[in-house]
Amino acid sequence: MTSYADIMFTPEVQAEQAHIGSKGKFDRRYNAKQDEPLGAPEQEFLTSRSTLYIASVNSAGWPYVQHRGGPAGFLKILDPFTIGFADYFGNRQLITKGNLTKDDRVSVFAMDYARQARLKLQGHATLQNAEDAPDLAAQLATEGEGCVQRVMTIRIVAWDWNCPKYITPRFDTQEMTALVGPELSRLEAENAELRARIATLEGRT
């Protein structure tokens, strides 16, 4: 059985928790989250993301964090334990792809800055060339993003929601449009109505 704590709370981590008195504080929470699939809230959250951070480790032990983003919906749910996305033409350093040949374990942060939410996931990743997995490439492709170069799938082993306390709210263009758009529409309608009234009054003088 596996939970987020089983993976991340190593003896060294638990020693640090013991030092500040937090060891055991999370036991009840994580004991109830053994081998937990992605539920409807998690799946909805992931498929509406435009930003991901993926950490891997190279053969020398150095960690590497890669950003992946796209329009909402670029990340797809393949089953309750598997997520995936298409990879497009980039800088061709292929650091993550190389790292995964030695160690397929990854850590993922899925961010929603506007709502100050973060979902953490641990899993095993596979990054294939699109020509080696054409059906999967077609399934994961995002319309308008160009030719798929590679496809990444991540088999989720454990996940956890993170505290929103220190996430600074930020809004992308789409979120700003949704936030401000209705008010702008109201002001435009009000302005048009006022102009029409002024025109009517001027016509009477």
Question: Do 179 and 197 lie in a common domain?
Answer: yes
Instruction: Note the pLDDT of residue 28.
Output: 87
Question: Do 186 and 158 lie in a common domain?
Answer: no
Question: Do 114 and 186 lie in a common domain?
Answer: no
Instruction: Note the pLDDT of residue 169.
Output: 77
- Give the three-state DSSP class for 15: helix
Instruction: Note the pLDDT of residue 182.
Output: 76
Instruction: Note the pLDDT of residue 32.
Output: 84
CA distance 191 to 76: 43
Question: Do 157 and 199 lie in a common domain?
Answer: no
Tell me the residue range of the domain where 25 lies: 1-32
Instruction: Note the pLDDT of residue 102.
Output: 94
pLDDT below 50 — which residues of the chain? none
Question: Do 92 and 26 lie in a common domain?
Answer: no
Question: Do 5 and 51 lie in a common domain?
Answer: no
Question: Do 154 and 54 lie in a common domain?
Answer: yes
What stretches of the chain show up as alpha helix (H) in DSSP? 4-8, 11-20, 27-31, 40-47, 95-100, 134-140, 173-204
CA distance 2 to 157: 7
CA distance 112 to 73: 14
